[in-house]
Amino acid sequence: MAKKGSAKRGAGATANGAGVAAVDRALAILAAFRPGDESLSLATLADRTGLYKSTILRLVASLERARYARRLDDGRYGIGPEPLRLAQVYQDSFRIRDAVMPVLRALADDFGETASLYVREGGMRVCLHRVEPTRQVRVALREGERLPLDRGAAGKVLLAFSGDPAKRFDEVRSQRYAASFGERDPEIAAIAAPVFGADGKLEGALNLSGPRERLRPERIEAIRPQLLVAAARLTHELGGSPTAYGASITARAFRR
């Protein structure tokens, strides 16, 4: 079934007159897979993409040859191995993993919560790197996971420092951090701070998240100074100015 308000589209149709239609359709098939989808039927792919089944079959054949998709024994379709290789290339291209991972490990060890670095991709935030604590009850995240940009501490930070002038982010910009309590998931709380690179460019949001029963407002406030110190140090490693966090945080970040 086509999406409401739209008609089924064939491989040759274009949505906006730009780009290559067949490529757009093939990417739409890959984008139809959501977290938790191990496989999808042809009917589900047609419903989610608004494409004819015959069009999907032709495009999936090309995707299979390039290892972006695979046809399972039961006739359903899954993601192939090629996106995993590209994900590694994507991570390596940032060239910040070596600087980020020690910071995340230290935060996870110190506070026993999940530490992660998010980057913005359009209207979503993506978990670029993460370290989970050893404790049993924790927030489980996967590198590459895409989450809403308009909910959660990391999303607020990414919006506040990537060009959104909304007044609701003035406090985040002035304090250099954001907290959230049950915004994306009612059981999760988080605190995040911006990380900058050369010329003040926002590189991402350093985030610590855990169950709300552990990350109560008073504990968030206790974590805040150390998270800002970690963000200042990481900013320095990436060629940015740690003075963006204020004199006291800068002094703590580089105290010998």
Structure confidence at residue 15 as a pLDDT band (50, 70, 90): very low
Q: Which structure tokens are listed for 15?
A: 């949505």
Which residue, chain included where needed, has tokens 């379709």? 77
Q: Which structure tokens are listed for 93?
A: 């291209």
Q: Taking the domain 21-80, which CATH number applies?
A: 1.10.10.10
Tens digits of per-residue pLDDT, 191-243? 999 999 888 889 999 999 999 999 999 999 999 999 999 999 999 988 889 98
Q: Which structure tokens are listed for 7?
A: 């008609």
CA angle 84-51-11, nearest 5°? 85
CB 226 within 8 A of CB 206: no
The class of domain 87-253 in CATH terms is alpha beta
Q: Measured between alpha carbons, how far is 93 from 85 in angstroms, rounded to an integer?
A: 12
Structure confidence at residue 248 as a pLDDT band (50, 70, 90): confident
Q: Measured between alpha carbons, how far is 68 from 22 in angstroms, rounded to an integer?
A: 15
What are the domain boundaries of the chain? Answer: 21-80, 87-253
Q: What is the pLDDT of residue 97?
A: 80
Q: Measured between alpha carbons, how far is 14 from 232 in angstroms, rounded to an integer?
A: 46
CA angle 106-107-111, nearest 5°? 120
Helix H or strand E encompassing 78: strand 77-79
pLDDT higher than threshold 80 for residue 100: yes
> How much is the mean pLDDT over the chain?
88
Total-model pTM: 0.65
Q: What is the pLDDT of residue 49?
A: 97
Tens digits of per-residue pLDDT, 162-193? 977 889 999 999 999 999 998 888 899 999 99
Q: What is the pLDDT of residue 184?
A: 86
